[in-house]
Structure 1
Amino acid sequence: MRKLLAGLIGSSMLLLSACGSSGADEASSSGDNEKEQEVVKIGITQIVEHPSLDAAREGFIAALKDAGYEEGKNLELDYQNAQGDANNNMSIAQNLVNDDNDLILAIATASAQSVVQSTKDIPILFTGITDPLSADLVKDLDKPGENVTGTSDTHPDAIKNTIASIKKFVPEAKTVGIIYNDGEANSIVNVENAKKALEENGLEYALTAISTSSEVKQAAESLVDRSDVFYIPKDNTVVSALESVITVANKEKIPTFVGESDSVERGTFSSYGFEYHDLGYKTGEMAIEILNGKNPGDIPVGFPDNLELIVNKSAAEKQGVELTDERLEGAKVIGD
C-alpha cells in the first residue's frame, strides 16, 4: 500500500512538473515572438524621382529585408518625395523628425541637409551625396561624429575618366555643353570638377544653368550651336527631365556623356559609373549596424566600390558616334 501511495505521489509530482515546464516554455515562446514582432520605424526622404535615386532607395530596403526587416511584419517605412520643391523638402524633414522614427534615410544632398538641420537626436543616414563635407553633413569622412553618416556617390575617378573618354569616342570634339541647376550644391561641385577635367583634356565648355526641370529642354536647345558634345553631371533637376536632353541630342546628333550609369540606360551615350542599387544596399547595411546599437558617428562614410565604362550602342547610332573594338575595349555595352 505504501509503495502504491508513493508511486501515485511521484506520478503527480511529475505531472505537475511537466505542466509547469510547458507553461514556462509557452511564456518564453510568447516573449520571443513579441521581440521578433517589435516594429522598427524608418522615415525616407527623397528630393526628386529619378532612376538612380530610386535604385538607391530600393537597394537600402533590400539590405533591410535580407537582415530580417520586412514591411508589414517588423518594419514600418514612411517614404516621402519632395518632387524637387524646397519647401516640401523641409516640411518632410520636420514631419519625419516629429513622427519619432528610429532612423531617417535622406536621399540626395538637399534632403540630407534638411534632415540634419532638423534633429540631433535621431540617427540619420544619407546616400546619393556628392560631397558630404562641403554640404556640411559630416565633419570628417572617417569619423563623421554626432548622429549622421552614409554613402557618397562620388567615385574619385568617375568624372575625370568620363571626360577623358570624350577624346576617345569623339576625337574631333572641342566644346562640351553642360546643363546644371546652380541651386544644387551637389551639382556645383560636380560642374567644378568637370571643368577641371575638361581643361586637363584640352576641351572648352559652355555652361547653361537652370532652376526647374521644365527649363531643361530649352537649355539643351540653346547649347546645340555651341557644343560638340553634351555632359550632364549628377544633377537631380536635370536628370529628372533627362528625356528632354536625349530628344535634342538624338535630333541634332550630339553625343551625350553623363555622370551616372542609370542615365546611360535611359538613352544617353556613355559614362563611367556604378550601380546605385549597390550604393543603397551598402547604406542599408549601415542601418543594420545602427539598429543593433552602433553610433552613426562612428561609422565611416562609404563610397562606390566598382567603376566601369558603360556605352549605349543604340544611343551611339542616334547621336552619331562611331564605335570600334578599340574604343569599346573594357566597356560594358548595352542597348544592342
Structure 2
Amino acid sequence: MDFMKMVAEVERLYPVERLERAKARLRAVWERRMPPDRMPFVYIGLPAPPDKEAFDMWDGICSNERLLEEQLETIIDRAQVDDDYVPSLSPGCRQGTIPTAYGAIEQRSADHTWVLPMLRDPKDVYDLGHPDFTREGVAAELIDRVRFFRAATQGRVPIQMADMQGPLDLASNMWGTEPLMMAMYTDPDAVHHLLQLMTDAFIEYVRLLDEAAEGDMVPIHCMPVNWMPKSAGVALSEDLLAVISPRLYPTFARPYNEQVADAFGGVVIHSCGSVEHNLMLLAGTRGLTGVNFSATETALPVLVDRVGGKAVIISHYGDVRCNDLPKLTPEEHVRLCMREFRRAGASGIILVMPLGVERDEMLAMNPLVKQLTQMSGA
C-alpha cells in the first residue's frame, strides 16, 4: 500500500486554507471567543458507500497497516463534507490500555473488547507496581501504533490521542465498578491510593503518546474527529460521572481530574449517560476547559445553564435516550444546539452524527447545517 500517495491526496483535498478556516473557528471557541462567522460543526464521518464492507477499527482486531489504510480512505472520502474537520489519525479506543500494563486481562464478547477487573481486595492496591507503558499491555501496542503511523506518513498527518479513561474510570476498570464504589465507604484510603496511581499513570501515558507522536498530538478523543489546541489541555472519559453520587464525586473524582488539568493546562471531560445530578460539581472543577455529552442522555438546556459559562460544550447525540429526552435527527440536534448556545450566549462544537440517515441525505444536508450554524439568523 502506497501510504504516501494517500497522504498526498489528503493534503490536496484539505489545503492549508481550508484547515486554517476550520482551526480559526475551533480556536475561537476554545479561547472562549465567538467564532468569526459560524459555530463550528463536525460530521462524525459518513455512512459507508453501499459497496464498502463494514470495518471495526477500535478493538485491536486488525493490523496497523490495515487500520492506517482504512483511516486514510475515510479521511479522503469525507473531504466532500464542508465542515470543521481537521484530518488526524486515531490509535484507537481500548478500555484495557492502562489496566493491561498492570496485568489485567482483556476479554472479547458481543463484538466488543472488555477488560476484566484484576483487584479482589482493598489491600491488593498496595501491591501494584509501576509498569513500563512502552513495553507492556495495550499501552505499548498503541504507542507502537502511533510510531508506525508517524513513520508511514512521514509525520505529515497529526495523531489524535488514544481514547483515554480518566482516573476514576481507570480505577473502576482495575477494581470493578460496584466494589470500587462500595470501597469508597469501607476502605477510602485504598481507593485514594488507587486513584492516585491511576492519575499518575494517565499523566505519564499521555506524555508518552505525545512523545511518540513527535509532539504532533491532538489532545482530544471525544469524538476522535475533533481538533483542539494544546493550550486547552487534554481530554479524558469519566463515564462513572453518570452513576457516582454528588456526595462522593467531590472527594473521589474531582481532585484527580484537577491534577490532570494542572499537568496539561486544562481538562475536557466526557461521559455517557445522564449526568445532570453532578453538573454543578463538575462545573467547579479547577481547570475545566470543555465537556462532551450526548443531548439525548443529558438535557442540553440544563448543561448549558450549569456549565456553559465555565467550559466549551461539545454536543453529540445517539440512539440511547435517558429521562424521556426526545430522539433527535441531525437537523433537530443542530437547531437545538444553536438555540441553546444563543440563549445563553455560549459557544460550543456541534457533532453531526449519521444516525438513521443515508449517506446521500448526510451529504445533501451539509448546506443546511452551514446555514443553521451562522452566528446570525434563526
State the TM-score bracket (shorter-chain normalisation): under 0.3
TM-score, normalised relative to structure 2: 0.24
TM-score, normalised relative to structure 1 = 0.27
Q: Which has the higher strand share?
A: 1
In our comparison, the structure showing a higher alpha carbon Rg is 1
